[in-house]
A and B are shown apart, each in its own frame.
Chain A
Amino acid sequence: MIPAELLIQAGLLVAAALTLVTLSYIFGDHPVFRFVLHIFIGAAAGYAGAIAVQDVILPQLVFPAIELASGGNVDVVDIGMRVGLSALLLTKLSPRTARFGNPVTAMLVGVGAALAIGGAIQGTLLPQINTSAQIFDVAGFDLALQGGYYGESLQIILQGMLALLAMVSTLAYFHFGAEARGKQAPLRNVLVDVLAWAGSVFIAITLATLFSGVLLSGMGALTERLDFLYSTISALLGMP
């Protein structure tokens, strides 16, 4: 049995080496980086596979099937369907039998599509439409007006209008409908065209916002890694 302290120290060394190699990609691709990348893919894939077996396949398929085989009180139809569907999906292992697994893949796609539709309606479309309907801060506007803060009330209206314009013009940017004009190329409505141009400006601003978010997270990760390297190397060299 390896002592826990030694395991931690070895772990820190391994982590520091892997961090250094991965960060060295900044200077260009090289074989050691590729080697580390393959290690990462292998470890991540193995971990994901083990979790899938441990949390889903064993409790939902193997244990109930064993219970059924040993005469336990389980839902025979349910377990039968699970075993049957799983067996059909496993036919995908061989190219010769793969076509028998197509209906199961189709079931997964159908269920996924239905969940995506339900999620898009309930999780995105309705909440976003609901929030868009409250784009103007009516309560704040009333309060500012009653208090005589006309500048602030005007600001609330302007902010609401700008947010509304941003939303509508962004949607207009993705509108590709055009009127047919005989033998001439179809032309987009002028109003939609102007809105789409404004939409492209707002989209550029939004992409910059998202970009800055990712960049700042990356910077956070870089700072954390450099700090880790510094503290590990300091500890190794016995520096305070």
Chain B
Amino acid sequence: MKLRAPISTAVAISFGLLVLLGIFIPDLADFRNRILNWAMLLAALALLLGLFNLAQVHWQRVRGREATVYSAALLVTMAITFAVTLLQGSDSANAEWIFNYVVVPIETSLMAVLAISLTLAAARVFQQRTELMNMVFIVTLLLLLVGAGPLFGVELPYFTRVINPYINNVLALGAMRGLLIGVALGTITTGVRILIGADRPYGA
């Protein structure tokens, strides 16, 4: 049987094991920190490679006259933001202007749009299917929303002080704990599969 990507597999296993052992063996902590610093540098470089790829794809779209305006807008804003932030610093007036008056408003507005989309989605769930789980979901959601604060200026103390805390601190907390433990077990399994070479998500 021919082993696929033996060098990459050996590198992934050895560096991964060194970092993992460094968590539990204090003598290896220095070496682990050094590897983590290298990994941090490589992650930053990988981010730059990603940006380069993004720019390249949109540059090709501009040259091919395919969705030119959108791609040109992306390239221009990317170049301006990158240059201003790098040359003048992230705390400079111009970089802060871009961040506060371009990035933050769009980001917050997208979050606001999400609220409306979620409300519509919840209404659609309620309309389309009346299964037990949908009913549980919708009833819980309504109880939580009613108890989230005053309704048209009227306080509903039974909802805010009894039902809401009970759902959050007893029913949801227990299940959330189960979900978190499940996610942690899944993460460990995936990590171990990479460290024993069963999964190799790093190219052939």
Q: Give residues in A with beta carbon < 8 Å to B.
A: 4, 7, 11-12, 14-16, 18-19, 22-23, 25-26, 34-57, 60-61, 78, 81-82, 85-86, 89-90, 92-93, 98-99, 102-122, 124-125, 128-129, 131-132, 135, 159, 162-171, 173-174, 199-209, 211-212, 214-219, 221-222, 224-225, 228
Which of A38, A132, A216: most chain B CB closer than 10 A? A38
Query: What mask results when residues 53 to 97 of chain B are scored 1 for a CB within 8 Å of chain A, else 0?
Result: 010000000000000011101111111111111100110010101
In the bound complex, what is the Cα–Cα distance between A129 and B103 (angstroms)?
Answer: 40
Nearest CB in chain A: distance from B144 CB, A: 4
A18-B102, A208-B137 in contact; A225/B109 too (CB < 8 A)? yes
Q: B70 is contacted by which of A23, A34, A168, A201 (Cβ under 8 Å)?
A: A34
Task: Check if B173 sits within 8 Å of A163, measured CB to CB.
Answer: yes
User: Is residue B25 within 8 Å, beta carbon to beta carbon, of the partner chain?
Assistant: no
Which of B73, B100, B174: most chain A CB closer than 10 A? B174
User: Is residue B156 within 8 Å, beta carbon to beta carbon, of the partner chain?
Assistant: no
The 8 A-B pairs at the shortest CB distance, nearest first, are namely A218-B115, A166-B174, A170-B178, A46-B81, A110-B16, A42-B77, A50-B85, A110-B12
Nearest CB in chain A: distance from B64 CB, A: 16
Task: Check if A52 sits within 8 Å of B115, measured CB to CB.
Answer: no
Interface size class of B (residues with CB under 8 A): 35 or more
In the bound complex, what is the Cα–Cα distance between A92 and B203 (angstroms)?
Answer: 11
In the bound complex, what is the Cα–Cα distance between A41 and B58 (angstroms)?
Answer: 12
Which of B38, B118, B122: most chain A CB closer than 10 A? B38
Determine chain B's interface SS by DSSP, over half rule. Answer: helix
Nearest CB in chain A: distance from B184 CB, A: 4
Which of A7, A120, A207, A212: most chain B CB closer than 10 A? A212
Task: Check if A11 sits within 8 Å of B97, measured CB to CB.
Answer: yes
In the bound complex, what is the Cα–Cα distance between A131 and B184 (angstroms)?
Answer: 15
Query: What mask results when residues 145 to 185 of chain B are scored 1 for a CB within 8 Å of chain A, else 0?
Result: 10010000000000000000001101111111111111111
The chain A residue with its CB closest to the CB of B168 is: A209
A105-B202, A109-B12, A202-B175 in contact; A124/B183 too (CB < 8 A)? yes
Task: Check if B52 sits within 8 Å of A221, measured CB to CB.
Answer: no
Task: Check if A51 sits within 8 Å of B90, measured CB to CB.
Answer: yes
Task: Check if B170 sits within 8 Å of A162, measured CB to CB.
Answer: yes
